[in-house]
Structure 1
Amino acid sequence: MTDLVLQNVSFSYPDGTKALEDFTLTVKSGERVAIVGQNGAGKTTAVKLMNGLLKPASGTVQVGEWDTTKFTTAQVSRKVGHVFQNPDDQIFHNDVESEVRFGPKNMKFDSGRVDELTQWAMELCGISGFAEENPYNLPYSERKFVTIASVLAMDSDIIILDEPTAGQDKIGLLTLGRLLDVLEQKGKTVITITHDMEFVTDYFSRIVVMANRKLIADGQAEDIFYNQEVLKASMLKPPAVAQMAGMFHFPPGILSKQQLVAAILKHTGT
């Protein structure tokens, strides 16, 4: 069990820019958490602190029993895998299988375990058919799945996905949904940064809202997307379904298409 605890964390960049202020968050092992907010809210800084890419100026970041200030980024990455927003910032091999295989091989797993994790991650991400392809010959959406697979193959307890739906079509979104379900079954913790509110409501039970470098709300989707003060402070738009429900003046809490259809049928007496 690897819980993640950020306690009163603040961080500023070398030029003096404040990126995070008094940020406190606990993520229990096995949770799915979406972190949302406008650009500049502090989301990316928060997750870079979680996996040791950055060290807090004040406060503490605990990954399980580890204080991240006492371990290298490479050591922390064994517990917290981070899939960057732009796959081109992460890919450095000339074929897909070598890219995915690098992580578990570098972690000194035995050859059988490396093979197992590599094939599992590639199959889960739907890229087994591209094993011998140069990743840069693949479209952006497939390159995203190459980087996701390369992190999954490391078998980290915590997985961070930065804007995973960017550039994805319907098939890609379904693949992501299936992937999240498999990771949940394996007891993995998944944290995502995303601007895709439909993706959030479809797949995440807990939402953390950030604004002005601070956490301003933490709760379930219906608590977040029907809270006008939170939406105004974070400049977030609720999912399209919630917006439509508001146009009809339906009671708060509608977030799925099925709920919306049921409310319309009830309203019309059908």
Structure 2
Amino acid sequence: MIEFKNVNYIHVNGIQALKEINLSIKPKTINALVGSNGTGKTTLARHINGLLKPTSGNVLVFGKNTKKISVASLSKRIGMVFQNSNHQLFADTVKNEILFGLNNFETDSQIKKNRFEWALNFFDLKKYENTSPLKLSGGEKKRLCIASVLAWNPEVLILDEPTVGQDQVQKEKMLKFISNLNKQGKTIIIISHDLEFLWPLKPNTIVMAKGRIKKTGKMTDIFSDDELLNQTCLMRPQLLDLWMKLNIKEEPPGDITEATDAIRRINGS
């Protein structure tokens, strides 16, 4: 579905942000882009929806070269939630923010109404329906950005640091929602430093450093590689770290409940 072929990208200031990127993202998968700040994660993601075009090489989305497709046509199928919510919000009310994409991409009035009500309620924004987005907290703004993108039901969802400003309840709700979206056939791409949030999703993991892809694969394999972690300054997720220290050969658990059950089973209790 999404392919990067020898992609290089140089900013207008002359700094090369992406270097020889070759990557394939399969449809209906959950993917995580990880790495330190300034490694090119967001730059790579913005090539997927056409906001940026390669300096050299090609990005193919749904079999089409993004150099030959408008951002508008890609946006209907690929939704992206920016890291900084203030760069995405512009409507005068929460209601109009959610309706903006729907009005552009959906013509059926009943579907539009249903999607609007769902987005408003699922992300706990009903009481702010007629409030200016500028008056929301950071976490509420982030939820509004996600709601406004998901309202038009894109096939691919890119989330840039989705847990910023979210409490644990909202994080757990988002985890379940991302899993359900994926089960419905959506392709999910998450840029995040929050490895504890990513861990239960068991995503295909793409590690970036200095504009290059260092390694791709299962999260368990990526974060079992001590040399890679030292090179990229990444921390091992806590449950994987516990499993390795206990030298347990079973597949590492996705959450505390699974870990507790596994340890009881191993101990025969």
TM-score by length of 1: 0.91
Identity of aligned residues (%): 33
Do the aligned residues in 2 keep the contact of 1:8 with 1:59 (CA within 8 Å)? Answer: yes
- Check 1:222–1:204 CA distance in 2 against 1; reply closer, same or farther (3 A cut): closer
Distance 2:187 2:124 in 1: 21
User: In structure 2, what is the equivalent of residue 134 of structure 1?
Assistant: 132
**How many correspondences in the alignment?**
268
User: In structure 2, what is the equivalent of residue 123 of structure 1?
Assistant: 121
2:180 maps to which of 169, 182, 193:
182
User: In structure 1, what is the equivalent of residue 169 of structure 2?
Assistant: 171
User: In structure 2, what is the equivalent of residue 232 of structure 1?
Assistant: 230
Distance 1:241 1:67 in 2: 40
User: In structure 1, what is the equivalent of residue 201 of structure 2?
Assistant: 203
SS of alignment partner, residue 215 of structure 2: strand
Do the aligned residues in 1 keep the contact of 2:106 with 2:152 (CA within 8 Å)? Answer: no
Residues 236-267 of structure 1, C-alpha deviations (whole Å, 9 max, x = no match) = 00112233344445558535434544665578
Do the aligned residues in 1 keep the contact of 2:4 with 2:60 (CA within 8 Å)? Answer: yes
- Check 1:173–1:212 CA distance in 2 against 1; reply closer, same or farther (3 A cut): same
Name structure 2 gaps, 5 residues minimum. none
**Matched residue type, 1:22:** E
Shift of 1:194: 0.1
Residues 41-86 of structure 1, C-alpha deviations (whole Å, 9 max, x = no match) = 1101100111111000111111103211012222221121110011
Deviates more, 1:224-233 or 1:157-166: 224-233
- Supply the RMSD in Å over aligned alpha carbons: 2.1
Name structure 1 gaps, 5 residues minimum. none
Q: What is the 5 A alignment of 1:69-84?
A: 69-84=67-82
SS of alignment partner, residue 164 of structure 2: coil
Do the aligned residues in 1 keep the contact of 2:220 with 2:240 (CA within 8 Å)? Answer: no
Do the aligned residues in 2 keep the contact of 1:207 with 1:221 (CA within 8 Å)? Answer: yes
Distance 1:162 1:128 in 2: 24
1:92 maps to which of 67, 90, 93:
90
TM-score by length of 2: 0.91
Do the aligned residues in 2 keep the contact of 1:141 with 1:172 (CA within 8 Å)? Answer: no
